[in-house]
Amino acid sequence: MALCLRDLAGMTDAGEPPLPAVAPAVLPSSAGALARSTLASSVQTDTAELRAQWGAWWRRTAVRESRPVASALRPPHFAEFDRELALQDLVENNYEAAYAWSAARFDEYTDSRTRRHASLTADVVDVVRDREHALRRQAGYFRLDLLVLPLASSGAWVVAPHTVAISQSLRDDSSAFRRWLRPIVHALV
């Protein structure tokens, strides 16, 4: 939902690192313009403040330990953003569209994962086993959190310690995913 709101606000280059636009795309047309005009009049803020607040929210969301199990976004007030008024206004003005978009993506991801669970798990297990075989020992403990996102461009981006955001398209392409994962596992094991 955070990335959808980012795109609705027309801030596709916000965040560190900046991630590609979401797929399917959402347009920063009237919803984003309305949010920006409302923000300008009601909170006297600028785009830099909204970007900073969104970036802080994204960093909290990307880190597994601070990611809520269930969405903390509760309409109509969105108390999570009481100290981030620009972001709170953006969410209030775009919540319905962002929620609908996010729910549809979650359903697609869940359906895909249910149908392909064995092959998705095999991709990771096989790469780790290949590394163990090459080293002639078991892998020790390592941590790699994969945040699979519906992004317009295929790829992977380090977004937090131990956390890599990967596009759904990369994750769905077994051979490309294994090629990407192999050097990561080699570095970690």
User: Region 130-144: what's the mean pLDDT?
Assistant: 96
Identify the residue with better confidence: 72 or 133.
Answer: 133
Residue 152 pLDDT more than 70? yes
Point out the least confidently predicted range of 4-18, 31-45, 61-75.
31-45
Residue 156 pLDDT more than 60? yes
Every domain of the chain and the residues it spans: 2-188
Q: What is this structure's pTM?
A: 0.85
Q: What is the pLDDT of residue 120?
A: 86
Identify the residue with better confidence: 97 or 46.
Answer: 97
The candidate with the shortest Cα–Cα distance to 166, out of 152, 154, 181, is 154
User: Region 138-165: what's the mean pLDDT?
Assistant: 95
Share of the chain above pLDDT 90, in %: 72
Q: What is the pLDDT of residue 66?
A: 66
Q: What is the pLDDT of residue 40?
A: 43
Q: What is the pLDDT of residue 43?
A: 41
Render pLDDT for 65-122 as a digit per residue (tens, 0 to 9).
766 655 678 888 898 899 999 999 999 999 999 999 999 999 999 998 888 888 889 9
Q: What is the pLDDT of residue 27?
A: 87
Helix ranges restricted to H, the chain: 2-8, 30-42, 47-62, 85-135, 168-172, 174-188
Mean of pLDDT over the chain: 88
CB of 150 closer than 8 Å to CB of 100: no
User: Region 121-148: what's the mean pLDDT?
Assistant: 96
Q: What is the pLDDT of residue 31?
A: 45
